């Protein structure tokens, strides 16, 4: 099966105290990194990319910090086309 490895800029949404004060991770599509025809190699490539990103971003502001203004990235694997954003549904 075909797998697409994609690069996302991470952020956090806050529901506010009127909605119970929830937080959730969100991502915005940046670019496709690779196309794999084997799920196992796609997952290995995703892990390798995220290990490298963790090392490169270790001195950046964490996404949970109020001072975060962007600049943290993660790699994700999809069996179909990668979504423009995740989660796809709006917050309630």
The structural domain count of the chain equals: 1
Global confidence as pTM = 0.84
Q: Is residue 92 part of a domain?
A: no
Q: Is residue 91 part of a domain?
A: no
At 89, is the secondary structure helix, strand, or coil? coil
Cβ atoms of 10 and 70 closer than 8 Å? no
Q: Is residue 41 part of a domain?
A: yes
pLDDT value at residue 16: 79
pLDDT (tens digit per residue) in 3-44 = 999 999 999 888 878 888 888 889 999 999 999 999 999 999
Q: Is 71 exposed, middle or buried (0-12, 13-18, 19+ CB in 10 A)?
A: exposed
Structural domain of residue 63, as residue ranges? 3-86
Q: Is residue 10 part of a domain?
A: yes
User: What does the alpha-carbon distance between residue 91 and residue 23 come to, in Å, rounded to a whole number?
Assistant: 10
Q: Is residue 74 part of a domain?
A: yes
Cβ atoms of 64 and 72 closer than 8 Å? no
């Amino acid at each position: 099966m075909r797998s697409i490895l994609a690069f996302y800029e991470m952020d956090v949404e806050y529901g506010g105290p009127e909605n119970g004060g929830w937080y959730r991770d969100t991502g915005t599509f940046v670019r496709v990194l690779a196309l794999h025809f084997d799920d196992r190699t796609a997952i290995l490539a995703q892990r390798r990319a995220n290990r490298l990103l963790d090392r490169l971003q270790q001195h950046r502001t964490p996404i949970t910090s109020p001072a975060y203004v962007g600049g943290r990235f993660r790699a994700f694997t999809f069996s179909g086309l990668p979504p423009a954003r995740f989660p796809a549904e709006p917050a309630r």
